[in-house]
Amino acid sequence: MDFAEGIEKILDMSFPKEKGTVRGLINSYAREFSENKKSIIEGKVPAWPVRLAISFICSRSGRWAALGIKAREQLEGRNLMDLLKERELNSFLDNVYTRHGRAYKESKEKISQFLTALEGLNNELKGWPKNERVKRFEQKIEKILETQAHIGRKGRDNILRDCGFLNYIPIDVHEQRFLLRTGIFHKYASLTESDPTDYDHLANAMSRFSKNELNELEVNGTRLSEAPGLVDLIIWHFSQEKTEKEISLTICAKDPKCEKCPLKNLCLFAKLHS
Question: C-beta of 94: minimal distance to ligand SF4 in Å?
Answer: 44
In whole angstroms, give the CA distance from residue 58 to residue 53. 9
CA atoms within 13 A on the CB side of 52: 18
Q: How far is the CB of 3 from ligand SF4 (least distance, A)?
A: 10
Q: Which is nearer to ligand SF4, 130 or 257 (CB)?
A: 257
Q: Considering beta carbons, is residue 111 or 267 the nearer one to ligand SF4?
A: 267
Binding site for ligand SF4 (CB under 6 A): 181-182, 251-252, 256-258, 261, 263-264, 267, 269-270
Cβ-contact 188, 248 below 8 angstroms: no
Q: Considering the complex, state which of residue 71 and residue 270 has its C-beta at the smaller distance from ligand SF4.
A: 270
Q: Which of 227, 235, 233 is nearest to 263 (CA)?
A: 235
Task: Give the Cα separation of 245 and 248 in Å (integer).
Answer: 8
Closest CA to 233 of 182, 130, 157: 157
State the minimum distance, in angstroms, from the CB of residue 75 to ligand SF4.
35
- Torsion from C-alpha of 267, 25, 167, 67, nearest 10 degrees: -100
Question: Angle formed by the axes of helices 65-75 and 47-59, to 10°?
Answer: 140
Whole-angstrom Cα distance, residue 132 to residue 136? 6
DSSP-based three-state secondary structure for 222 = strand
Of 9 and 150, the one with the shorter C-beta distance to ligand SF4 is 9
Tell me the closest approach of the beta carbon of residue 216 to ligand SF4, in angstroms. 20
Question: In the bound complex, what is the minimum distance in angstroms from residue 265's beta carbon to ligand SF4?
Answer: 9
Q: Which of 136, 157, 167 is nearest to 40 (CA)?
A: 136
The nearest distance, CB 260 to ligand SF4, in angstroms, is 8
Using the minimum distance from each CB to ligand SF4, give the nearer residue, 228 or 256. Answer: 256
The least distance separating ligand SF4 from the CB of residue 150, rounded to whole angstroms, comes to: 35
Q: Which is nearer to ligand SF4, 67 or 217 (CB)?
A: 217
| Nearest CB to ligand SF4, comparing residues 168 and 269 | 269
What are residue 14's phi and psi, to 5 degrees? -100, 145
The phi and psi torsions of 21 (rounded to 5 degrees) equal -105, 170
Compute how many other C-beta atoms are within 10 angstroms of the C-beta atom of residue 78: 15
